[in-house]
């Protein structure tokens, strides 16, 4: 024990001595000719796929803004620089990284992916006086806590299924009578389900009791078997990609064929959905935060179609709405800095709160709680292996195909 004791005493003295000096000043964010944003994204872990798409969105924003000469703040043009860190898909790490950005003087933050991470980050943002543009945390709960420094560019969770229900109510001939919801049990999915059930009841549909499945499961067979006996006209899934694909595959295996087909919240617009399901994905409805047919343009990215071409050119894959919402969050911060004429977080915060602008993403404006309730969600449908917008009708690029009409 003598050796160990010696080691301990020496290191203790070293630690104690380090406490005697004074703390150096916190580093200030880069030079005064750059606008530095901090982004903790999920590069590894469960959310790695969506995190990678989010990072692509942020990167494209940086490229295009700098290609246009930078952000005009006051009388200078600042170069946009985004610093990345990996939060390993864990909310507490995401929050910790926001603190570390704060230490380095980076006060303007772009959110991580998902409601859990964004919620954790929002709490820290509020305490530190930073400002965050939320690109992917849609759960309404985040905005019911009285936070004033987090602004979400995407439509809130309740809209995901409500928009699908609205599209069915508006465009399906003949109208179906019963709707069944299958929901994962995480916060975001449950909020979306609540929104969907509320809208369905409002529209006059009979809503069967919702079936809940464990989050992230690839086996939804028990929920489907239970629903098979109840013969719903439409099955709507409030789930993520894994469960979404499982619903389609297992429904096919078990012979669950509702006359009105299926709708799902997050999965159908993603390329993986069609790739893995092939023909089984046909006519599935999905809700998307953004599609290429959205109306609106801005000075950095042009129209939605132009944005889509840029992503295709830079990354070689079809644009996912996760790319678009990330770029939109970055755009919001850039425009707010320009509007405020400064990079001071309080001025940027006020500028964000008062922002009302058109963009490739649609309208970006925030209600007092920080949600973007001014941008509608789009409903897409898989037709011939492609996701095409079918609702709202002003932005539709194809006619809504109702499987129930073939009866």
The one among 62, 158, 191, 323 contacting another protein by CB under 8 A: 191
Q: How near is the Cβ of 177 to another protein at its closest, in Å?
A: 22
The CB-of-257 to another protein minimum distance in angstroms stands at: 11
Residues 172 and 331: their CA atoms lie apart, in Å, by 36
Q: Is 385 in the site for another protein (CB under 8 A)?
A: no
Is there a contact between 332 and 352 (Cβ–Cβ < 8 Å)? yes
* Rounded-to-integer distance, Cα 42 and Cα 55, Å: 9
**Binders in 70-99 for another protein, by CB under 8 A:** 84-86, 88, 90-92, 95-97, 99
Residue 312 token pair = 């295709």
Alpha-carbon gap, residue 37 to 86, rounded angstroms: 15
- What is the footprint of another protein within residues 214-273 (CB under 8 A)? 214-216, 218-223, 225-226, 228-229, 241-242, 245-246, 249, 252-255, 272
Exposed e or buried b for every residue in 253-279, given b needs 16+ CB within 10 A? Answer: eeebebbbbbbbbbbbbbeebbeebee
- In a 3-state reduction of DSSP, which class is residue 213? strand
What CA–CA distance (Å, rounded) separates 115 from 111? 10
Residue 312 within binding range of another protein, rule CB under 8 A:
no
Number of residues that bind another protein (CB under 8 A): 89
Most distant pair of Cα atoms in the chain: their distance:
86
CB 350 within 8 A of CB 151: no
Evaluate whether 102 touches 337 at the Cβ level (below 8 Å): no
Contacts of 1 by beta carbon, 8 Å cutoff, 6+ apart: none
x-or-dash pattern for another protein, window 93-132, by CB under 8 A?
A: --xxx-xxxxxx-----------x--xx--x---xx----
Given 56, 59, 134, 186, the residue binding another protein (CB under 8 A): 186
Q: Rounded to the nearest whole angstrom, what is the least distance from the CB of residue 213 to another protein in the complex?
A: 5
The site string for another protein over 27-46 (x = CB under 8 A, - otherwise) reads: ----------------xxxx
**Least distance (Å) from another protein to the CB of residue 13?**
7
Residues 316-375 that bind another protein (CB under 8 A): none
- Interface with another protein includes 314 (CB under 8 A)? no
């Amino acid at each position: 024990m003598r050796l160990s004791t010696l080691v301990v005493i020496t290191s203790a003295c070293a630690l104690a001595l380090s406490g005697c000096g004074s703390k150096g000043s916190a580093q200030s964010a880069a030079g005064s000719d750059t606008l530095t944003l901090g982004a903790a994204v999920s590069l590894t872990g469960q959310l790695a796929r969506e995190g990678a798409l989010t990072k692509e969105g942020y990167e494209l924003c940086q490229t295009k803004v700098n290609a246009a000469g930078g952000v005009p703040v006051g009388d200078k043009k600042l170069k946009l620089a985004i610093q990345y860190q990996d939060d390993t898909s864990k909310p507490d790490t995401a929050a910790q990284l926001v603190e570390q950005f704060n230490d380095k003087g980076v006060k303007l933050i772009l959110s991580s992916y998902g409601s859990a991470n964004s919620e954790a980050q929002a709490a820290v943002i509020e305490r530190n006086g930073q400002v965050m543009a939320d690109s992917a945390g849609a759960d309404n709960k985040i905005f019911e806590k009285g936070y004033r420094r987090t602004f979400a560019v995407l439509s809130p969770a309740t809209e995901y299924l409500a928009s699908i229900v609205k599209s069915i109510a508006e465009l399906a001939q003949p109208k179906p009578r019963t709707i069944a919801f299958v929901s994962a049990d995480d916060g975001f999915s449950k909020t979306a389900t609540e929104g969907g059930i509320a809208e369905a009841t409002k529209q006059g549909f009979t809503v069967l009791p919702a079936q809940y499945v464990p989050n992230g499961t690839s086996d939804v067979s028990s929920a489907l078997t239970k629903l098979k006996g109840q013969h719903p006209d439409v099955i709507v899934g409030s789930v993520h990609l894994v469960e979404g694909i499982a619903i389609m595959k297992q429904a096919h295996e078990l012979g669950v064929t509702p006359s009105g087909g299926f709708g799902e919240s997050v999965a159908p617009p993603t390329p993986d959905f069609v790739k893995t399901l092939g023909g089984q994905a046909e006519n599935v409805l999905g809700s998307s935060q953004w599609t290429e047919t959205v109306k609106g343009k801005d000075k950095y990215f042009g129209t939605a179609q132009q944005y889509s071409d840029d992503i295709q050119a830079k990354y070689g894959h079809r644009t996912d709405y996760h790319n678009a919402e990330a770029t939109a969050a970055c755009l919001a911060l850039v425009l707010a800095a320009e509007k405020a004429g400064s990079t001071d977080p309080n001025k940027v915060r006020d500028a964000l709160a008062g922002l009302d602008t058109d963009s490739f993403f649609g309208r970006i404006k925030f209600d007092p709680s920080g949600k973007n309730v001014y941008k509608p969600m789009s409903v897409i449908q898989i037709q011939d292996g492609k996701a095409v917008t079918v609702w709202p009708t002003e932005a539709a690029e194809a006619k809504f195909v109702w499987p129930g009409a073939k009866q």
